[in-house]
Structure 1
Amino acid sequence: MERIIFLDRGGISVPLRAPCFPHRWTEYPDTRAAEVVERLADATVAITDQVAITAEHLAELPQLRMIAVAATGVNHVDLEACRRLGVAVSNVRNWSVSVPEHVFSLVLALRRNLLAYHEAVQGGVWQRSEGYLVQVEPMPRSLYGATLGIIGVGALGSAVAALGEAFGMEILCAERKGASEVRAGRTPFPEVLAKSDVLVLLCPLTEDSCGMIGKAELELMPRHAILINCGRGGLLDEAALAQALAEGTIAGAGLDVLAQEPPRDGSPLLDLKQPNLIVTPHVAWISDRSLATLAEQLIGNLEGFVLGHPRNLVV
């Protein structure tokens, strides 16, 4: 009988059906690092959303056979240690229909200057106006005819591209930064930065992608451009972005992720109080339909592994 421990069930706020094999199931709303080994002491299968499982943890868990990540990103699991110890790792893929929607929520709010207009109404500016409207600078910019650059052209990037095309945007899919060759359908990384009116980051956080957008990259972008990051916070230099927004190097940014989450130690971006920056608390992935798809795929990953036809394996 499999012993399944879900370390942080609290982040998955939808029902989970029972796997179709004999098992015992225990779940916790969340788990601190110091509690991981104790809680997984007799587990054969661990489920984690965001709780880290390190090589040190794994060394004390010889009975563990599988780690099922209830998310796409797996950078909080020591994959090399799992390979060495023969622990399978799975993730969920292509499940969040809401991320592309959230990307364009941020894009439209920034391009249409919605926060400034909302503040104009809330502050009574429209009510005191002598005309029938209030115009706030900068003037809103249309998406039609604008260029959308995408860094990270997986399932989410492709969905964002499709939405961009529906708005009448020109799509540029970036080649990897520093690549010596440019694949068909891709555009060199620096060229995407220089030509994009809207630049969207959707790639995973790896050694190669960490800090890929810094001061030099931001200075390549047009001054009217906006940057959207719904990938991982570590993809960009937050201090450099804060400076670029304050100095007008770029026109705006919309972020759903930060380098530290939750940002208990603060962030240069959280100190900016201006309408050309929108930060949401890592919620782009959340919607009723997205979570239902995630839940079913997570259980399917468990069943596939235990019943001998594993799926969505990372290791």
Structure 2
Amino acid sequence: MRHHVVFLERDSIRLPMHRPGFEHTYEEYASTAPDEVVARLQRASVAIINKIVLDRRVLAELPRLRMIALTATGYDCIDVAACREHGIAVANVRGYAVHTVPEHVFMLVLALRRNLLGYRQEIEHGAWQRSEQFCLSTYPISELSGSVMGIVGAGAIGRATAAIARGFGMRVQFALHASRSDRSRAPEAGFVPFDRLLAESDVLTLHCPLTPATRHLIGIDELRRMKRSALLVNTARGGLVDEAALVRALEEGLIAGAGFDVLSEEPPAGGNPLLALRRPDFILTPHMAWASDEAMRTLARQVVDNIEAWAAGTPRNLVT
């Protein structure tokens, strides 16, 4: 079978990407609007996507589609159950961001713990220039050494984040998975119930997928159970946190700060409450924690490897 490969979101990968080694035809589009998906995939046996939604309705109109290659790890944009019913293989990429995302986490953590934004604003407003002392100490500065890093998600990125945290002298605790009992996890040190993780963490960072069970995992009740000196970091999925609740928590001083790289809708539409925040205790970056050059090269290679493996009858990284 001669495959027809269609890449719907080429601009999501800014570096060169080689094509599969088997005989095929190929189309690519810089981006694709929702109402263009069906027409562009009509002849496709292989679709390469990033965040395009392929739900049951769309899949039913694509009888030739046999494989979806994701240029991401998360696959909440795809109806996996419908793919199984239609015999469509879905493969994601894994492990490509194991360095870049943890490094981004600590960029946010260090900036917040040392009040980088606040001190930068002081200089911009001339406070240091007017000071009678050689330094400013307007904002508190906290060290990481000796504090507790709480991690939700013990996959490759969560564990890489833990390794960096230990290098800073932090004590690491992972959230006990809700599907496992305390008893079954007891042999592995460092796993604690979620409520305890909330109460004890000085920095709480999220590295879990977005599912119906994890949507709004962090709401106002959870934020109230955290330390008032704690930081919340989310480089995973925006829907994990109730964004309106986070704004309230920051305004009421329920936590000390937050660093986010993701929002519940991306690109963000007007009205997202986090877009309007102008506070030294909140940092928002545009979903670029994953996007180092090194990670992107690894991702691009893995996408094509996944397609070639599937075509050869030895599929890998399947989520179906």
TM range (shorter): over 0.9
Paired position in structure 2 for 1:54:
55
- Mind listing any 5+ residue stretches in structure 1 that lack a counterpart? none
Distance in 2, matches of 1:23 and 1:69, equals 18
1:161–1:171 contact (8 Å) kept in structure 2: yes
1:119 to 102, 118, 121: 121
Q: 1:177 to 1:223 in 2, by over 3 A?
A: farther
Distance in 2, matches of 1:176 and 1:274, equals 33
Paired position in structure 1 for 2:15:
14
Displacement, 1:45?
A: 0.2
Paired position in structure 2 for 1:169:
170
1:98 to 97, 100, 111: 100
Paired position in structure 2 for 1:212:
217
Choose 277-286 or 260-269, whichever is displaced more. 260-269
Percent of pairs identical after alignment?
49
Tell me the secondary structure at the aligned position of residue 25 of structure 1.
strand
- Mind listing any 5+ residue stretches in structure 2 that lack a counterpart? none
Distance in 2, matches of 1:209 and 1:171, equals 21
Name the count of aligned residue pairs: 314
Matched, 1:270 2:275: yes
Residue correspondence of structure 1 range 229-244 to structure 2 within 5 A: 229-244=234-249
Paired position in structure 1 for 2:31:
30
Displacement, 1:101?
A: 0.5
- What's the TM-score once normalised by structure 2's chain length? 0.96
Paired position in structure 1 for 2:260:
255
Tell me the secondary structure at the aligned position of residue 31 of structure 2.
coil
Distance in 1, matches of 2:6 and 2:284, equals 33
Distance in 2, matches of 1:10 and 1:197, equals 38
Tell me the secondary structure at the aligned position of residue 217 of structure 2.
coil
Distance in 1, matches of 2:300 and 2:77, equals 20
Matched, 1:296 2:275: no
1:178–1:189 contact (8 Å) kept in structure 2: no
Displacement, 1:187?
A: 0.6
Residue correspondence of structure 1 range 125-204 to structure 2 within 5 A: 125-137=127-139, 139-177=140-178, 180-181=181-182, 183=185, 184-185=188-189, 186-204=191-209
Q: Deviations over 1:195-226 (max 9, x none)?
A: 00000011000011111111111111110000
Displacement, 1:263?
A: 1.7
- What's the TM-score once normalised by structure 1's chain length? 0.98
Tell me the secondary structure at the aligned position of residue 127 of structure 1.
helix
Tell me the secondary structure at the aligned position of residue 211 of structure 1.
coil
Q: Which amino acid is the alignment partner of residue 313 of structure 2?
A: G
Distance in 2, matches of 1:234 and 1:187, equals 23
